[in-house]
């Protein structure tokens, strides 16, 4: 049944959904990569499409910005639409000098300053991690595509404008980049027994101050998209 945030019908989504944050990036991916794609959701302009890539059903739908938004859409896809795999494909800011603009990074785990895990009533601190099957598949896909993709920890922040100016402190613990959704996705997947992975492209650097434009963020992250689609095909073919 449709949800308050999703007008799709049962069966409209593939088992694997790619989730950019930006609805326009969702449309770009559908138009550029999927065959026979159709719009299955457009509630609040959060566009979702389902088509095929090399014959394998794949969906792409935006998550919006931040962990509350990701938590809503991921939960509904997993629990109401039979989705098994969500691959976040979004932007991130480099906090390591190992990463340059347009580099791709896979989030093996996601530190966070969010209180998202409080809802689960756990007697300690939960460590949000990626699903290993998705991660190893993506690593193999990147290798076969000859795309360099560092794997490591990211920081999922609840704030974009950090009044404390403390984000760079995470770099001292080897964290590679900062973004705003992966931890919520990983926790939602864990709570529902599903699989999740975040693959991010570097849109700006807190180390150098460089950044891409909003238009560039919509269309230039092709390596990240290629890895995610190849991962979806390999998972879907098993």
pLDDT in tens, 152-161: 999 999 998 8
Q: What confidence score (pLDDT) does residue 1 get?
A: 63
Q: What confidence score (pLDDT) does residue 42 get?
A: 78
Rounded Cα distance, 184 and 60, in Å: 18
Rg (CA), the chain: 16
The CATH-assigned architecture of domain 16-236 is 3-Layer(aba) Sandwich (3.40)
Rounded Cα distance, 200 and 88, in Å: 8
Active-site residues, by number, are 204
State residue 208 phi and psi, 5-degree precision: -105, -15
Weakly modelled stretches of the chain, pLDDT under 70: 1, 7, 218-220, 237-238
* Residues belonging to the chain: 238
Give pTM, 2 decimals. Answer: 0.94
Q: What confidence score (pLDDT) does residue 238 get?
A: 57
Of residues 112, 111, 64, the one with CA closest to residue 88: 64
pLDDT digits (tens, 9 = 90+) for 167-199: 999 999 999 999 999 999 999 999 999 999 999
CB within 8 Å of 205: residues ≥ 6 apart: 93, 94, 99, 100, 101, 211
Q: What confidence score (pLDDT) does residue 218 get?
A: 62
Q: What confidence score (pLDDT) does residue 17 get?
A: 97
């Amino acid at each position: 049944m449709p949800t308050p945030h999703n007008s799709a019908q049962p069966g409209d989504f593939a088992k694997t959904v790619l989730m950019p944050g930006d609805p326009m990036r969702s449309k770009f991916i559908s138009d550029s990569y999927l065959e026979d794609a159709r719009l299955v959701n457009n509630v609040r302009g959060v566009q979702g499409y389902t088509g095929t890539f090399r014959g394998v059903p794949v969906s792409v739908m935006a998550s919006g910005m931040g962990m509350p938004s990701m938590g809503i859409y991921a939960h509904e896809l997993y629990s109401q639409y039979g989705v098994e795999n969500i691959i976040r494909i979004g932007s991130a800011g480099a906090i390591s000098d190992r990463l340059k603009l347009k580099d791709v990074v896979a989030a093996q785990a996601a530190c966070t300053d969010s209180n998202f895990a409080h809802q689960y009533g756990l007697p300690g601190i939960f460590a949000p991690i990626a699903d290993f099957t998705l991660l190893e598949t993506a690593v193999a896909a990147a290798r076969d595509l000859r795309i360099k993709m560092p794997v490591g920890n990211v920081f999922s922040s609840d704030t974009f404008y950090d009044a404390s100016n403390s984000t760079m402190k995470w770099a001292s613990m080897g964290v590679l980049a900062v973004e705003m959704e992966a931890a919520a996705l990983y926790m939602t997947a864990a709570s529902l027994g599903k699989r999740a992975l975040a693959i991010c492209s570097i849109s700006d650097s807190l180390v150098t101050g460089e950044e891409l434009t909003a238009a560039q963020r919509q269309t230039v992250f092709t390596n990240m998209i290629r890895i995610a689609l190849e991962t979806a095909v390999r998972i879907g073919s098993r």
